[in-house]
Structure formats: C-alpha cells, structure tokens
C-alpha cells in the first residue's frame, strides 16, 4: 500500500509545471511528421541503441495530454506495437517510447485514458489485441516520475469490462461514461452508466461509485461519443446506440444532474467515432462517421449553446477512430483509420484556432492570451476567473447590503423565536415520551392486527352464509311489513277513540262547572265533588293510556326504520359482492385469452350470439386502459377481435353509432379513392362522415367489414385522428359511414398553402410519431400522402384514412384504375409493379412518408414534374431509375429545411429493408427541432374523449363467456 499512498500524495498535491510553448506553425492546417528518438529507459537501466518503433499509423488507441504540451498514447489495433507507451512533445515534435515497470496493463485497443494533473496517467478497459487474450478490467495509474504502473485495488462495485467508453477528470474525481460491455460484464446496454472515482479515497479505501442522479432526465446509452470536461461540468455529444446520435448534454458534477441542451446554429449531423477537445469555452468535434467518414470540424460555444461549422477547412483528409489534444490555441490530431489518410497516415495534423476567422468563437485578444507562454496563460486564466468572480460580487453588493439590513432588523425576531423554541423544547420532550409510549402500544397491537386479519380471512366463507341469511331475513322483513301496517292502523283507531273520550270528559267537566257555579240543589254539593273526583281519576287514567299508546307507536316506528336501514345495507353489500364477482370473472377472461395463441385461434371460430358477446367484451377491454399492461397485450386483443369480426360477421355494439345527423345527399368533397366526405353532427359536435364505396355483398358481410373498421375507434394517439365509430347508412344500397372529428384546418396540403410560413419539420415529426404508433400496434396505413394528413386546431398533424385501403382491397371494396392513378405517385415500387397487388407494409408506408415530405417541402405531387403519366412512372420504376429526384433548391419552401430532404431520400430506396423505420424518422426529426412553440393539444384531446364517452353502453354477462373460454 506504500506505492498507493505515494501515488495518492502525488495526484492530490502536484501542480502544473508548464514548459515552453510548442514550435510555431502557420496557417489554419499544418502537418508534422514526428522525429523518432531512442526509447527512454527506466532509471538505472541502460538506454537501447536502436530507435523507437514508428508511432503511426494507429487507430482506436488511448491518449492523454498535459496543458504544457506533453502527449502520451498507447494501444490501438492498427499498430504493430500496441503494448508500448509513447510520449510526444508538441514543443519540439519528437516522440519516444517510455519504458515502464510495475503492473503492466498489457496491449489493448478501444480503451480510455486521461491525465490527472501533469504527472499521473489513468487507463481503463478495452479489448485484447490478440484473440484469446484477456484484458484486466481494473483501473491502472502510471506515475510518470517513477515510470511505474499501479493496478488500483478497489473495494465494492466497479465499472467492469468495457470498451469504447469515455474518461475525464474534474477536480479530484475521475468520471467514466458508458461504452460497450466486454466479455465478462453483467451490465445492461440499455441504461447509461456514469461512474466516479474520487482520488481522495486512495489514501484509505479506493472505490468506484455509480453516480446516483438527482433527476430522471438522462442521455440514452451509447458508445464512441465525444466527452470533454468544462469547469464543473461534463459536455457530451453524439455517439452510437442503435443509430448514430446528434444530441448535446451537460452533466453538473455538483448537482448530479444531466440536462439535454437545446442548441441553435449549425448542429452537426449524427455521428460517432469523432474526436472532441475543449478550447477555452468552446468544444471542438473533429471528423467521425455519419453515413460515411466525414472531414468537417464543428465548434460548440458552450456558454451560448450554439454550434458553428468551422469555415475555411479546405480539402483535408476524413478521419475516424482518431484522438486529439488541445495545447494553447492548437488542436493536435493523432492517428485514425489508415485507409482514409493516404500519405498522411504517419503525421500529426494541427488545427490552429488563431486562424479561424470567427469572433463569435474567440476574440483576438483572448486568442493572444491562450497562445502565450504557459505560465502567462495559467496566470491569465486565474485573472480571468477572478475578474468574473469580482464582477459577480459587485453585482451582488446591493443585494448583500439589503440582506444585511434585513438580518439586522430581524435580529430581535430571531432572539424572540429562540426563546419560544426553548420554551417549546420541554413540551417537545414530553410529546416525544408520549409518542414513544404510543409506539410501544402500537407494537403490542401489531399482533392483534395480524390476528384480526386472519379472522377476516376465516370469515370469508361465513360472509357467503350471511348473504343467504340476509336474503331470508329480507323476505321475512318484507312479509312482516304488512303486520306492522296493521298494528299501526289499530293504534291509530285507539288514538282516535282516546281523543273522543277526552272530548267527552271535557264536555262533562264543563257541565259540572256550570252546575257548580249556578244554583245547585240542596244536598247535591257532596255528590258533585265526588263526581268531579271520579272524573279526574278517569282523566289521569286516560292520559296514562294515551302515553302508553304513543310509546308503542314510537317503538314500532323505530323498528320500521331499523328494518329499512338493514334492508339498504344488505342491498349495498349485495351489489358490492356482485361487482367484485364481475370484476374477478372479467380478469379471468382476459388472462385466459392472453395466455396462449391457440386459444385466440379457437375463439376466432365463434358464431352467433356467443361471437357477438365476445366481440363486445374485447371492445370493452380495449377501451379500459387499466386492464391491459402493455402494447403487446393490446395488439393480441386487437388480433383476436379482428379474427372474430371477420369470421362471425358481427359488429361491436359499442362501436355502432346512433343519432348521427348527416345529409348524405350533400357531400363536402368530390369522390375520392374510397368515398365521399360529409359534414355531420353527433351530440352537438361537428363530425366528419366518410361514406365508403362498397361492392355487392350480403348485409352481414358489410357489417363485418364495418366492424373491422370500427376497431380503429379503439386506437388512441395524439397524432392519429380518433374514430368515434361507424354505422350503415339507411339507403337502398347501404354505405359504410366512418365518423371522426371535423378538423377545420383541413388536410396538410391545403393547410400549407394557406399558411406558407409554417415550419414543416414539427408537422412531419408528428406524422412520424403517428406512423410509429400504428406500426407498433400492427396497423399499416396503406395510403399515406398529404391529403390523408389533417392539421388540428393546435397545429398538430394527425393521420387519417389509415387502414381503409387495406380493409377494402381485401374483400368487398372495389378499386378502379382511376383510384390507382390518384395514388400511384405515392405508391412504393414493390406494390406498383407487382402483379398480385400485395398488401401494404410498414416499409411501403415509409416510401409514402418520403413522398409526403416531398409535398411538404415543395407543395407539389412527388415525381409528377418528371413523369407526366402513370405509364411513364411505371417504366421508370422498371428501369430502376435513380431516386429520389431531389427537388431543386428554388422549389423548397422557406422553412422546410435540409432534414426533410435527406430523410425523404432515404425513404426513396428501392430496397424496402434499407428504408428507415418510422421510429428512426421520428428520432432524426425530433433531434433537428430547436423549439416547438405550438399551443397545447389538451383541450382538443379532452373534446375527443368527451364525444367518445357518448357511445352506447353495453352490459356483458361474464358468467356466460367464462365456460366458452375455458372450453376453447
């Protein structure tokens, strides 16, 4: 461990020791052929007599450099001596092999290297240069003073074997990003990894840590990217995952947060295998591989998030698998794939930023500072940083003074608050004691809770018995209701009799009083008093009986209310149990259908009422977002439902619309490829009704075809026009009427004519998103063109008429030569030239996507300017004429942009498998959108869902379907 401790002290304490500036060069580009010296031996060993082997050509090697101009590199697969470590001096253009001791890393390629200060070199990963050899996956550090390699023993988890990754140093931390796992690695290639090695841990227990991000935003996993350190950040560009990337990201090492940068300017094309360096506050990206090897240079102004293409590069050799280092204002470019370098494969290329005539990248004054003596340059950088810091402090002076005044004014409040807190301290301690006691009580009660849960489980069967008892009790209570009413009637009659007797008593008392106050007969006074006493006693008895009757009546009323309450609770509980049973049966049905393909095929043979009920059930499943867990399950249910509809010729009741008001004698548009367009009304909302032409066929077959179209009513995506449903028109020759929202802006072609300044790329990105969704769901559009793309109120493109052509070309639909002629200019060659009219595919959809891009850019029909008739177009396809016919620059409408030109050309490939997928097109267009200021679509989507909710409800008997599914 002594070597490790010594190396740790060197890493953490050594300072930069800049030397003299490098040898002067003139011009933007220059080339140096290094002077090869004898190998530099380890101290105490004799110097070899022969010269060092030539350092170049080589590719996929590791390189690290100091700010003073010392460059170190090793490895690579195009070099005859991949195990040697070379030193190159930018000052005198000399190179030599450095002989080292210690834990030799061994020959390798595709590894990562970085410089720690000016005296320590770090190396990790890569592939073995010889088949069958293994590469040690540990981190290696080289003390350049002692020339001794050290394999760092780490504790805990580590990055593991990998290649094509990036490694840089910020402060005292080595950061390693992503790459491709090598043999023996257990990491996932789908998740990006950022590892950190704090050099301060070398004094205790060296360890790697997988960085825990503070937010969910992160770049996709990749290899062969350009990664550079900038202040306390990592700046990332490009690389390769399933395709080449052109995204720019920044990682803040303080907050542990990735942010994708929204960049402006000349953003480089997607690429990997490029070299990246940082000069002041500008990241330079040199060469790489796009669709072929490129020879351009791009500069990224980090503070402004703006890309520039470096002008005046001239004719230079294309490079990939090369490396670069920045010394002063010069960028030194080493190696690369030898087959592209010609006679310069053994030279070092030098790009001098002093000759880049662009003040927006570097001011002349700053370039003078950067090109100065290294000591002066370091001092200038310190002064520049101090100046920025001083300016920040001056700007904050007023705020600090105001804050100080606030703090002084709040001092008394703070002291008062401290006193309150002291008083509250005792109360908190008492509360803590009570909480602890309560917690202990809860812990004691935990066993009771568990016991209670067990009792509830045991009572599950008892609840079923109670349900039967409740039903019997309900019958008994309902039977006793008549007795209660009879008893109430008797009490009411008794009440009336009591009141009548009271009235008689009152009348008798009144007569007695009259007699008493009148002229009573002699000797009758005693009799009157006796009679009054009797009447008083009778009155008290009658009042007592009256109270007893009232109490009995109240008791009966209370019993009646309790009976009604028990009845209500029973009905509620019964409804809950029935609903739980329905949901359990529904889940069992879904699980059984999803379980196997054979069961799905057997269900396709259902007929009659069973088929109708099953179709309604599957329609309900598709509409409920919680019942299906993935797109794969949704595709499976769609597949089963489509088979049932075709075989049994039934129509889902949920998708069958009623109450659509539409005058089918007054079309909005002329006859199109598959029908006429009408404007109608459904539940107070304007709707589009497309009445589709069909050939002769039975009513049941037409219903099946309508049902298959109605499936699309359950396909939901923001960039796909929602279908509300379908119905058969009430005509002597019925037509299938497809109902969707009325889109006021119309189709894409007409919208762009009315709004010529509209940005095309966001709209075509919408088209790609909708097409990707359909393809993921196993649905092919079949007739993609600008006329079948609608533009919503929120300026979003939405696919329309998808799958209509497919459905009606496979059964009852009629297709005429006129229909074909109207679609031929968008039809893929493999479909147009085939004799058997093959169905459309996702690849043929992408040909149509390219044609739609052409329309969006030019406002013209694709190929129509070159081939005036269908026959000429077919002949051109037969001859295999080159495509695409790139539109002239004068025809491209302002704002269309070059991404659509390049993407449409890729879509016009005669080989279907070579065309991009909708997912790839979406990624390319999304990356080229700088900003999207279109209004939110939330209001429109809410309106669409509100109209869908008006569709008829269908009650399904799951008990009826369960035996059917189990049997099949």
Of the residues 333, 364, 395, which one is the last residue of a structural domain?
A: 364
Whether residues 677 and 813 fall in one domain: yes
pLDDT (average), residues 338-358: 93
The percentage of residues in the chain with a pLDDT greater than 90, rounded to a whole number, is 37
Furthest-apart CA pair in the chain: how many Å?
Answer: 170
What pLDDT is attached to residue 594?
A: 80
Whether residues 856 and 753 fall in one domain: yes
Whether residues 662 and 729 fall in one domain: yes
Whether residues 805 and 844 fall in one domain: yes
* Alpha-carbon span 316 to 466, nearest angstrom: 90
pLDDT confidence band for 332 (50 / 70 / 90): very high
| CB neighbour class for 926 (10 Å; exposed up to 12, middle 13-18, buried from 19) | middle
Whether residues 856 and 899 fall in one domain: yes
Tokens 């080449």 correspond to: 244
Residue 448 belongs to a domain: no
Whether residues 325 and 380 fall in one domain: no
Q: Which residue has the higher pLDDT, 522 or 415?
A: 415
Whether residues 291 and 394 fall in one domain: no
Q: Is the pLDDT of residue 458 over 70?
A: no
What is the 8-class DSSP label of residue 267? P
**What are the CA-CA distances from residue 753 to residues 29, 222, 607, 855 (Å)?**
48, 41, 51, 11
**What are the CA-CA distances from residue 731 to residues 109, 691, 727 (Å)?**
76, 12, 12
What pLDDT is attached to residue 709?
A: 60
Q: What is the DSSP string of 264-325?
A: EE-PPPS-BS-EEEEETTEEEEE--BSSSB---EEEEETTTTEEEEPTT--S-----S-EEE
- Average pLDDT over the chain, rounded to an integer: 79
Whether residues 725 and 800 fall in one domain: yes
Rg (CA), the chain: 43
Tokens 């799958």 correspond to: 803
The token duo for 744 is 């006021």
Residue 125 belongs to a domain: no
pLDDT confidence band for 902 (50 / 70 / 90): confident
Q: Is the pLDDT of residue 206 over 60?
A: yes
Whether residues 387 and 489 fall in one domain: no
pLDDT confidence band for 675 (50 / 70 / 90): confident
Structural domain boundaries, residue 551: 470-512+530-574
Q: Which residue has the higher pLDDT, 220 or 430?
A: 220
Residue 384 belongs to a domain: yes
Residue 427 belongs to a domain: no
pLDDT (average), residues 830-845: 82
Instruction: Provide the whole-model pTM.
Output: 0.44
User: What is the CATH number for 839?
Assistant: 1.10.510.10
Residue 38 belongs to a domain: no
Q: Which residue has the higher pLDDT, 801 or 460?
A: 801
* Alpha-carbon span 968 to 962, nearest angstrom: 10
The count of C-alpha atoms lying within 13 angstroms of the C-alpha of 157, restricted to the half-sphere facing its C-beta, is 10
**Number of domains the chain contains:** 4
Choose from 115-124, 605-614, 675-684, 706-715 the range with maximum mean pLDDT: 115-124
Q: Which residue has the higher pLDDT, 408 or 778?
A: 778
Whether residues 815 and 741 fall in one domain: yes
**Contact at 8 Å (CB) between 667 and 934?**
no
What pLDDT is attached to residue 895?
A: 45
Residue 959 belongs to a domain: no
Q: Which residue has the higher pLDDT, 304 or 576?
A: 304
| 24-65 tens-digit pLDDT | 445 889 999 999 999 998 877 888 889 999 999 999 999 999
**Contact at 8 Å (CB) between 10 and 145?**
yes
Q: Is the pLDDT of residue 7 over 60?
A: yes
Residue 752 belongs to a domain: yes
Whether residues 683 and 562 fall in one domain: no
| 700-721 tens-digit pLDDT | 545 545 555 656 666 788 999 8
pLDDT (average), residues 676-698: 80
The percentage of residues in the chain with a pLDDT greater than 70, rounded to a whole number, is 70
Q: Is the pLDDT of residue 134 over 50?
A: yes
Residue 923 belongs to a domain: yes
* Alpha-carbon span 964 to 968, nearest angstrom: 6
Whether residues 821 and 697 fall in one domain: yes
**Contact at 8 Å (CB) between 68 and 378?**
no
């Amino acid at each position: 461990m002594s070597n490790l401790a010594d190396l740790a002290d060197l890493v953490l304490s050594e300072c930069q020791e800049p030397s003299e500036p490098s040898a002067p060069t003139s011009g933007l580009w220059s080339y140096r052929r290094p002077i090869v010296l004898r190998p530099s031996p380890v101290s105490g060993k004799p110097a070899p007599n022969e010269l060092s082997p030539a350092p170049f050509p080589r590719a996929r090697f590791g390189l690290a450099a100091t700010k003073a101009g010392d460059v170190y590199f090793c490895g690579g697969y195009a070099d005859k001596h991949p195990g040697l470590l070379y030193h190159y001096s930018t000052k005198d253009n000399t190179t030599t092999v450095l002989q080292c001791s210690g834990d030799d890393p061994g020959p390798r390629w595709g590894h990562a290297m970085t410089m720690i200060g000016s005296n320590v070199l770090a190396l990790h990963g890569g592939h073995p240069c010889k088949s069958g050899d293994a590469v040690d996956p540990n981190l290696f550090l080289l003390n350049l003073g002692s020339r001794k390699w050290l394999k760092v023993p780490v504790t805990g988890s580590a990055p593991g074997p990998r290649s094509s990754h990036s490694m840089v140093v910020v402060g005292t931390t080595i950061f390693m990003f992503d790459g491709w796992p090598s043999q023996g690695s257990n990491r996932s290639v789908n998740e990006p990894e950022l590892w950190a090695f704090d050099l301060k841990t070398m004094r205790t227990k060296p360890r790697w840590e997988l960085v825990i991000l503070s937010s969910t935003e992160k770049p996709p996993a990749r290899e062969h990217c350009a990664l550079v350190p900038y202040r306390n950040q990592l700046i990332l560009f490009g690389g390769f995952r399933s395709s080449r990337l052109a995204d720019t990201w920044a990682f803040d090492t303080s907050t542990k947060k990735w942010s994708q940068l929204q960049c402006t300017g000349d953003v480089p094309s997607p690429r990997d295998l490029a070299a990246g360096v940082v000069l002041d506050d500008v990241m330079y990206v040199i060469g790489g591989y796009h669709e072929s090897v490129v020879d351009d240079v791009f500069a990224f102004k980090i503070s402004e998030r703006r890309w520039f293409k470096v002008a005046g590069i001239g004719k230079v050799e294309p490079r990939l698998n090369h490396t670069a280092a920045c010394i002063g204002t010069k960028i030194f470019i080493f190696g690369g794939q030898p087959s592209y370098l010609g006679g310069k494969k053994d030279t070092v290329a030098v790009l001098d930023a002093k000759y880049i005539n662009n003040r927006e990248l570097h001011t002349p004054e700053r370039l003078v500072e950067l090109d100065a003596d290294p000591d002066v340059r370091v001092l200038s950088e310190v002064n520049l940083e101090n100046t920025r810091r001083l300016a920040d402090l001056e700007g904050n002076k007023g705020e600090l003074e105001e804050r100080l005044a606030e703090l002084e004014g709040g001092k008394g409040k703070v002291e008062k608050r401290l006193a309150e807190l002291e008083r509250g301290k005792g109360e908190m301690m008492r509360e803590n004691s009570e909480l602890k006691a309560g917690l202990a009580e809860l812990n004691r009660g935990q066993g009771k809770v568990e016991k209670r849960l067990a009792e509830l489980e045991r009572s599950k069967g008892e609840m079923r018995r109670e349900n039967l008892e409740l039903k019997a009790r309900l019958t008994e209570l309902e039977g006793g209701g008549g007795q209660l009413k009879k008893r109430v009637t008797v009490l009411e009659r008794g009440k009336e009799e009591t009141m009548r007797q009271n009235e008689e008593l009152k009348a008798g008392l009144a007569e007695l009083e009259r007699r008493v106050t009148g002229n009573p007969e002699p000797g009758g006074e005693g009799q009157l008093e006796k009679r009054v006493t009797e009447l008083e006693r009778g009155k008290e008895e009658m009042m007592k009986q009256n109270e007893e009757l009232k109490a009995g009546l109240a008791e009966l009323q209370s019993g009646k209310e309790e009976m009604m309450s028990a009845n209500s609770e029973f009905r509620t509980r019964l409804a809950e149990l029935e609903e739980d049973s329905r949901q359990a049966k529904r889940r069992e049905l879904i699980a059984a259908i999803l379980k196997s393909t054979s069961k799905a095929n057997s269900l396709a043979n259902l007929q009659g009422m069973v088929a109708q009920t099953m179709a309604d059930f599957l329609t309900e499943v598709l509409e409920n977002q919680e019942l299906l867990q993935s797109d794969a399950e949704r595709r499976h249910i769609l597949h089963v439902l489509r088979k049932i509809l075709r075989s049994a010729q039934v129509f889902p009741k949920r998708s069958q619309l009623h109450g659509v008001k539409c005058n089918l004698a007054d079309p909005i548009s002329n006859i199109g490829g598959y029908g006429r367009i009408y404007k109608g009304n459904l539940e107070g909302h304007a709707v589009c009704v497309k009445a589709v032409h069909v050939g002769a066929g039975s009513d049941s077959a037409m219903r099946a075809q309508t049902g298959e179209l109605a499936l699309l009513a359950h396909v939901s995506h923001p960039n796909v026009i929602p279908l509300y449903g379908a119905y058969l028109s009430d005509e002597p020759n019925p037509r299938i009427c497809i109902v969707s929202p009325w889109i006021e802006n119309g189709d894409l072609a007409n919208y762009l004519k009315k709004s010529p300044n509209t940005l095309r790329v966001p709209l075509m990105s919408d088209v790609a998103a909708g097409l990707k969704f359909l393809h993921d769901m196993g649905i092919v559009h079949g007739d993609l063109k600008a006329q079948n793309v609608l533009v919503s109120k929120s300026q979003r493109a939405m696919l329309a008429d998808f799958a209509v052509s497919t459905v009606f070309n496979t059964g009852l639909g009629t297709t005429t030569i006129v229909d074909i002629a109207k679609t031929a200019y968008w039809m893929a060659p493999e479909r147009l030239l085939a004799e058997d009219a093959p169905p459309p595919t996702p690849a043929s959809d992408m040909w149509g996507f390219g044609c739609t891009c052409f329309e969006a850019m030019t406002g013209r029909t694709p190929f129509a300017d070159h081939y005036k008739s269908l026959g000429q177009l077919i002949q051109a396809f037969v001859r295999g004429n080159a495509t695409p016919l790139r539109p002239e620059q004068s025809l491209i409408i302002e704002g269309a942009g070059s991404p659509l030109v390049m993407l449409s050309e890729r879509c016009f490939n005669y080989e279907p498998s070579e065309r991009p997928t909708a997912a790839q097109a979406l990624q390319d267009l999304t990356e080229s959108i700088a900003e999207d200021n279109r209004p939110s679509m939330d209001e429109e989507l809410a309106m669409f869902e509100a109209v869908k909710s008006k569709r008829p409800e269908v009650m399904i008997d799951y008990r009826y379907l369960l035996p059917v599914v189990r049997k099949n």
